[in-house]
Chains A and B, each alone.
Chain A
Amino acid sequence: MNPEQWLNEYGDILYRFAMQRAQDSELAADLVQDTLLAAWKSKDSFSGNSSVSTWLIGILKHKWIDYLRKEIRQREHAELAEGDPTAWFDTNNGKWKEQPQLWHDNPESLCQSEQFMAVLRGCTEHLPKKQKLVFDMREFQGLDSDEICKVCDVSATNLHVLLHRARLGLRHCLDEHWFGGKLK
């Protein structure tokens, strides 16, 4: 077993996974490097129960979580109480104030439209900080709920509420700026 062989065999697989998370070539390559270095240092802990690539991807996932944690700590701590969901609903009967209309575009065409992606990015920028952060990790980077809970140190319940609020906000913003549900 040697690390250079890992680089040859798994370098691209790791890099692709890292690109999904980081969406930045420089950062993704750093992540691959950190992963391989860490893997080499802890090579004795590789049990052989899983394939080498699964084991390496597991390390990479941890490295990414570590990275996000540091990033978040460095930034100012995002406030928790934010985005009042009652804004979207009638407080008397819990019904929508503005009824969502069906988006007719299909996912394939949505993700291929650079304009749509730009509008979506713009809408996420307007979310309260913490909502933006978790939505970004969940939907843009593809982390699962457990991973995000670790990064942000919140409970699953808390996370679900944050994502729910983020989605409510985005739906409204996208209706206004893209799908044209309500333009007045």
Chain B
Amino acid sequence: MKYACEKVSQLASEQLERRLSLRERLVMRFHFLMCGACKHYHQNLLKLHEALNIKRKEISKDAVLPEEKRSRIHQSLQELSKHSD
């Protein structure tokens, strides 16, 4: 069988990386009708992907550049513009 679970699970992963062709999408959809395992795997991957997306946004949401780091950067920028004038 050409499109066994092994291949379909790869498509499920690649869907997060590139746009699948129409044919690939149909193959996947059709396979899901017959195969709960692959369907679940696909849904699990999407959940994990989404969870980490949210996590990343949360980490950075309220972050502000700390003052001591800001002034350090400020200093190095001043030096640079002095030299380049």
Residues of A near any B CB (own CB < 8 A): 2-4, 7, 11-12, 14-17, 19-20, 23, 25, 28-29, 32-33, 36-37, 40-41, 85-86, 88-89, 93-96, 99-103, 105-108, 110-111, 117, 120, 139-142, 145, 156, 159-161, 163-164, 167-168, 170-171, 174
Summarize B's interface: helix, strand, loop or mixed.
helix
CB distance from A29 to the nearest CB of B (A): 4
In the A-B complex, the 9 residue pairs with the smallest Cβ-Cβ separation, listed nearest first, are A94-B4, A99-B37, A107-B50, A29-B69, A107-B51, A110-B51, A111-B55, A164-B13, A15-B65
When distances are taken between beta carbons in the complex, the residues of chain A under 8 Å from B80 are 3, 37, 40-41
**Contact pick for B58, options A25, A111, A159, A161, CB 8 Å:** A111
Quote the shortest CB–CB distance from B30 to chain A (angstroms): 15
| Residues on B with beta carbons closer than 8 Å to the beta carbon of A111 | 51-52, 54-55, 58
* Cα–Cα, bound, A32→B64 (Å): 12
Verify B36–A99 contact, CB threshold 8 A. yes
Q: Provide the B20-43 mask, 1 if CB < 8 A to any CB of A, else 0.
A: 000000000000000011101101
Residues of B in contact with A, size category: 35 or more
B40 touches A102 (CB 8 A): yes
Cross-chain contact B40 with A20 (CB below 8 angstroms)? no
Q: A89-B6, A100-B44 are in contact. Are A33 and B56 (CB under 8 A)?
A: no
Minimum CB–CB distance from A59 to chain B (whole Å) comes to 14
B13, B18, B59, B73: the one within 8 Å of A33 (CB) = B73
| A29/B66 contact (C-beta < 8 A), A3-B81, A37-B77, A111-B54 known | yes
Q: Chain A contacts of B48 at CB under 8 A?
A: 107, 110, 120, 139, 167, 170, 174
